[in-house]
Amino acid sequence: MKRIALTLLCVLLAITVSGCTKKAAVKSTIDGNMKTYYEMTDGTWMCDDHLYKYRLEINGRMPNAAVDTSFVYLSNIEEISFDQAYKAAGVSSSSDDYFSPEEAVLVEMY
């Protein structure tokens, strides 16, 4: 009985200590032309209460366009192709071409 109580106490202490990790603070605020987003002190990015590992600048030319377009996505996907980026920016009529908020979010387009 004492061993069970001691084991439970150790587990509770471990949970309490692991919950004390310091969260990253905002390093800078960026007013994107689509959404405001934040660079965090730990190198991650935040937008709409979602954390992202990457900030991707994706450049290219859409079909039949006269000039190049640039998209800035915050993403938990390491690479996004230009084809994926422009379709997910609102061009596609298929919901399969869009990212979930956990995957990626468009914050700038120019």
What local confidence, expressed as pLDDT, does residue 12 receive? 52
pLDDT at 74 over 90: yes
> How high is the pLDDT of residue 23?
75
pLDDT for position 1? 66
Global pTM reads 0.78
The pLDDT of residue 24: 86
Sign of CA dihedral 89, 61, 107, 102: positive
Degrees to nearest 5, angle at CA 11 with 6 and 14: 125
Q: Domain map of the chain by residue range? A: 23-109
Per the CB < 8 A criterion, the answer to whether 68 and 82 are in contact is no
Both tokens of 17, joined, read: 């200590």
Residue range 69-93: mean pLDDT, rounded? 97
> What is the pLDDT at residue 7?
59
Half-sphere CA count of 12, side-chain side, radius 13 A = 6
**7-56: per-residue pLDDT in tens?**
555 555 555 544 555 678 999 999 999 999 999 999 999 999 999 999 99
Strands 69-75 and 45-47: unpaired
Can you give the pLDDT at residue 3? 66
Please give the mean pLDDT across all residues of the chain. Answer: 88
Q: Where are the alpha helices (DSSP H) in 1-110?
A: 2-18, 82-86
